[in-house]
């Protein structure tokens, strides 16, 4: 129940990758025999990824994952900006791969506006409009937060961005492949995706760059990816990403519908069985399969360890920081009462989960919380 951190590789994806880890080892840039199949496979994968998001193949650039795509979009657009120092608009609930990239720009002299969110984690499109000024070079916004699941009003923000001729980048790592995501309908200029979030391999991703968007390279060197992202391609990984995109294109609608039903069963079940829970993120405008909450009077990590002992894998926040035990800037931005964020837990369901899995969690979790609360000095009247 931790698909927001990663998803398992589909057997069909592995099968598509294997030849490119074996006999088809050639460099796709080679003009000789060995380069031919890898080159074709790369371009087929590009078409598959483009088709999943309704882009043109030449607007898709492969990267080593979402982190690289986010860094590239942010640093590459800022570097190409006519206004220096540039102004960048983002939100208070971004993934670290966005947050740290904009903070680097800030240290280099850029002005950054961090937009607040409401208690559901929504950015207000009006606040975006108000933040734009003559120097604004980029708006970068998460499509959906991996921590609280809220899906942001990207189409409305895109309309505002377009009216002001400011490029809009979305971090669609959690949505693409899991929620039907059409970059043309949304009207965004750049979008980040990661293969491992929709049953493809880790270490693969792409940046969608609308034709005409000014963007300098992040990685310089050879002429791969039309000269915009240097380095010999991860051919097997990209082939896997392409195959995962084909499967997602066929299944995403049904996937989202099935997981939304399981999500609601999980949320309603927890609500009915455990008192003093505070669900985080938007109640309906959220990722399918994603339930996030704060459990009063307990530490989220304690709950997770006890769930792990029962065979349930869940997370207490972003997996990127889970080993640091830092309090989450995303939960802080929601304005939760102090201490509540310590009890954060998130369940993100995926293709392998069933209603029986949800019911098993609903059976084992209430006594765990009850036991921890009985020992907790945090509870009212506690020791």
Q: How far is the CB of 271 from ligand PMP (least distance, A)?
A: 25
Query: Under the criterion CB under 6 A, does residue 93 sit at the interface with ligand PMP?
Result: no
When binding is defined by CB under 6 A, the residue of 90, 173, 302, 344 that contacts ligand PMP is: 173
When binding is defined by CB under 6 A, the residue of 74, 194, 307, 349 that contacts ligand PMP is: 194
Q: In this structure, is the dihedral angle defined by the CA atoms of residues 79, 81, 83 and 89, taken in order, positive or negative? A: negative
Active-site residue 320, yes or no?
Answer: yes
Query: Under the criterion CB under 6 A, does residue 373 sit at the interface with ligand PMP?
Result: no
Contacts of 137 (CB under 8 A, 6+ apart): 77, 78, 81, 82, 83, 86, 87, 88, 110, 166, 167
Query: Under the criterion CB under 6 A, does residue 149 sit at the interface with ligand PMP?
Result: no
When binding is defined by CB under 6 A, the residue of 71, 146, 150, 344 that contacts ligand PMP is: 146
Question: SS3 string of the chain?
Answer: CECCCCCCCCHHHHHHHHHHHCCCCCCCCCCCHHHHHHHHHHHHHHHHHHHHHCCCHHHEEEECCHHHHHHHHHHHHHHHCCCCCCEEEEECCCCHHHHHHHHHHHHCCCEEEEECCCCCCCCCHHHHHHHCCCCEEEEEEECECCCCCEECCHHHHHHHHHHCCCCEEEECCCCCCCCCCCHHHHCCCEEEEEHHHHCCCCCCEEEEECCCCCCCCCCCCCCHHHHCCCCCCCHHHHHHHHHHHHHHHHHHHHHHHHHHHHHHHHHHHHHHHCCCEEECCCCCCECCCEEEEEECCCCHHHHHHHHHHCCCCCECCCCCCCCCCCCCHHHHHCCCCCCHHHHEEEEECCCCCCHHHHHHHHHHHHHHHHHHHHHCCCCCCCC
Binding range to ligand PMP, per CB under 6 A, among 33-41, 66-74, 125-133, 156-164: 66-74
Q: How far is the CB of 81 from ligand PMP (least distance, A)?
A: 23
Nearer to ligand PMP, 196 or 296 (CB): 196
Binding range to ligand PMP, per CB under 6 A, among 59-67, 100-108, 117-125, 251-259: 59-67
Binding range to ligand PMP, per CB under 6 A, among 33-41, 166-174, 176-184, 276-284: 166-174
Q: How far is the CB of 6 from ligand PMP (least distance, A)?
A: 7
Q: How far is the CB of 248 from ligand PMP (least distance, A)?
A: 16
Nearer to ligand PMP, 39 or 143 (CB): 143
Nearer to ligand PMP, 318 or 342 (CB): 318
Query: Under the criterion CB under 6 A, does residue 67 sit at the interface with ligand PMP?
Result: yes
Q: Which of 122, 320, 364, 378 is catalytic?
A: 320
Q: How far is the CB of 195 from ligand PMP (least distance, A)?
A: 8
Nearer to ligand PMP, 238 or 372 (CB): 238
Q: Which of residues 69-88 bind ligand PMP (CB under 6 A)?
A: 70
When binding is defined by CB under 6 A, the residue of 46, 95, 228, 290 that contacts ligand PMP is: 95
When binding is defined by CB under 6 A, the residue of 2, 24, 171, 351 that contacts ligand PMP is: 171
Query: Under the criterion CB under 6 A, does residue 348 sit at the interface with ligand PMP?
Result: no
**Count of CA atoms in the C-beta half-sphere (13 A) of 182:** 5
Positions touching ligand PMP (CB under 6 A) are 5, 65-67, 70, 95, 97, 142, 146, 171, 173-174, 194, 196
Active-site positions? 320
């Amino acid at each position: 129940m931790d698909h927001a951190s990663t998803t398992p590789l589909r057997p069909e994806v592995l099968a598509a990758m294997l030849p490119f880890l074996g006999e088809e080892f050639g460099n796709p840039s080679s003009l000789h025999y060995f380069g031919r199949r890898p080159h074709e496979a790369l371009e087929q994968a590009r078409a598959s990824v483009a088709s999943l998001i309704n882009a043109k193949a030449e607007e898709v650039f492969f990267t080593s994952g979402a982190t690289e795509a986010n860094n590239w979009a942010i640093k590459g657009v800022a570097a190409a900006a006519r206004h220096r120092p540039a102004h960048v608009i983002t939100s208070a609930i971004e993934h670290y791969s966005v947050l740290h990239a904009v903070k680097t720009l800030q240290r280099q002299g850029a002005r950054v506006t961090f937009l607040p969110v409401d208690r559901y984690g929504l950015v207000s499109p009006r606040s975006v409009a108000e933040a734009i000024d003559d120097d604004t070079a980029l708006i970068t916004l998460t499509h959906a937060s991996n921590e609280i699941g809220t899906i942001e009003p990207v189409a409305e923000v895109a309309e505002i961005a377009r009216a002001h001729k400011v490029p809009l980048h979305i971090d669609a790592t959690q949505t693409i492949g899991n929620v039907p995501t059409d970059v043309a309908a949304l009207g965004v200029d750049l979008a980040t995706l990661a293969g491992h979030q929709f049953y493809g391999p880790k270490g693969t991703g792409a940046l969608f760059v609308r034709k005409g968007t000014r963007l300098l390279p992040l990685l310089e060197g050879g002429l791969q990816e039309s000269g915009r992202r240097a380095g010999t391609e991860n051919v097997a990984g990209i082939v896997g990403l392409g195959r995962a995109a084909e499967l997602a294109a066929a299944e995403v609608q049904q996937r989202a519908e099935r997981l939304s039903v399981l999500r609601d069963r999980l949320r309603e079940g927890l609500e009915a069985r455990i008192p003093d829970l505070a669900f985080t993120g938007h109640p309906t405008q959220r990722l399918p399969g994603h339930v996030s909450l704060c459990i009063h009077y307990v530490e989220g990590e304690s709950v997770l360890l006890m769930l792990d002992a029962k065979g349930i894998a869940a997370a207490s926040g972003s997996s990127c920081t889970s080993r640091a035990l830092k309090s989450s800037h995303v939960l802080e931005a929601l304005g939760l009462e102090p201490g509540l964020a310590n009890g954060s837990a998130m369940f993100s369901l995926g293709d392998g989960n069933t209603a029986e899995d949800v019911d098993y969690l609903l059976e084992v979790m209430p006594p765990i919380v009850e036991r921890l609360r009985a020992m907790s000095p945090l509870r009212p009247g506690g020791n």
